[in-house]
Amino acid sequence: MNLINLNIDNFESVINNTGIVLVDCWAAWCSACKDFKPIFEKTAANFPTHTFGMIDTMTEKDLVSLLKIEHIPTLLLYRDGIMLFKQPGYFSEDKLEDIIKQAESLNMDLVRADLESQKS
C-alpha cells in the first residue's frame, strides 16, 4: 500500500519525491482523527499512484514543531516537493478526493514561476 508512517528521518525524502504526497497529522487520543483515518486509508487505496503519509503527533513532536502543526487532524498536500495545501479539520471522502483532483490539475511550471516571482 502507498501509506507510509512519516517521521523526522524520512519526511523530507518522502515529500520531495515527484508526484502528490498527502499527509495526515493525527494523535491516538483524537476522536476526529480516529474518524478520519478510514477515509484517509480508503482514499489512499483509490489513488495508488500517490503517496499517503501519516504523522503521529505524539511521537513526532520535533516534526510537528517544524511543520507548525497547531491543531489535529491537519491535512498537508505536497506536489513535487511543494506544499500546496495545509488545513486542519476532518474531510469527507468527496472533499478529500476533490482536493487531490485539484492538485493533479495544477500546472506546476506556473506554480514554480509564481513562487519564484514571490521571492523577488
- 23, 78 contact by CB (below 8 A): yes
The three cell numbers of residue 84 are 500546496
User: Looking at residue 119, what is its pLDDT?
Assistant: 85
User: Looking at residue 51, what is its pLDDT?
Assistant: 96
Range of the domain at 105: 3-119
Q: Is the pLDDT of residue 75 over 70?
A: yes
User: Looking at residue 1, what is its pLDDT?
Assistant: 52
Of the given ranges (94-98, 102-106, 111-115), which has the lowest mean pLDDT?
Answer: 111-115
Q: Please return the burial class of 119, using the count of CB atoms within 10 Å of its CB with bins 0-12, 13-18 and 19+.
A: exposed
Mean pLDDT, rounded, of the chain: 94
CATH number of the domain that residue 91 is part of: 3.40.30.10
Active site members: 30, 33
pLDDT 10s digits, 60-71: 999 999 999 999
- DSSP β-ladder status, 74-79 and 51-56: unpaired
For the chain, the domain total comes to: 1
- 94, 120 contact by CB (below 8 A): no
pLDDT 10s digits, 19-62: 999 999 999 999 999 999 999 999 999 999 999 999 999 999 99
- Spatial CA neighbour of 73 closest among 34, 38, 26: 26
